[in-house]
Amino acid sequence: MMKDLFELRDEILILHLPDELDHHTAGEIRESTDDLFACKKIRDIIFDYSSTTFMDSSGIGLIMGRYREVRYLKGNVYLVNISGDMERILSISGLYRVAIKLDTIDAAIKDVYNKRDKRPV
């Protein structure tokens, strides 16, 4: 299940979230991202919701936690491919105050490069 969950390019981590993001699956993802963060430099994270049909507060906690990690390097967290169901819980959660919502992975990557051009490395 954890196969092909991640893509890492140019210090951008693209994380394809599972069908159901709860305490159980969030724990597995956290372990894998902790390993990645330990050995690679990651400045921005894109959470891809295209396969996700369920999320609860554990998913909110996962994203908030990764947000705190990339903020050290002044990076951003992106949420993309949000469906109607996910939109409801995300908007109640207040996550949009810290994470950037965009339509697609490509749009998020573009935004990363735009923002990097405008700040010293």
Partner 1 sequence: MDNNNNYMSVEFDSISNNESFARVVVAAFVARLNPTLMEIADIKTAVSEAVTNSIIHGYENKEGRIKIETHIVEDTVTIIVTDNGVGIENIERAMEPMYTSKPELERSGMGFAFMEAFMDELFVESEMSGGTVVTMRKVIGKNNEKWDEELN
For 7, the token pair is 């893509």
60 binds partner 1 (CB under 8 A): yes
Write the DSSP assignment of 69-80 as a string of letters.
HHHTTT--EEEE
CB of 92 to partner 1, least distance (A): 6
67 binds partner 1 (CB under 8 A): no
Distances from the Cα of 21 to the Cαs of 16, 17, 91, 93, 103, in angstroms? 11, 7, 16, 15, 20
Are 96 and 90 a contacting pair, CB within 8 Å?
Answer: yes
**Which of residues 99 and 112 has its CB atom nearest to partner 1 in the complex?**
99
**Which of residues 65 and 104 has its CB atom nearest to partner 1 in the complex?**
65
64 binds partner 1 (CB under 8 A): yes
Binds partner 1 by CB under 8 A, chosen from 58, 87, 100, 111 = 58
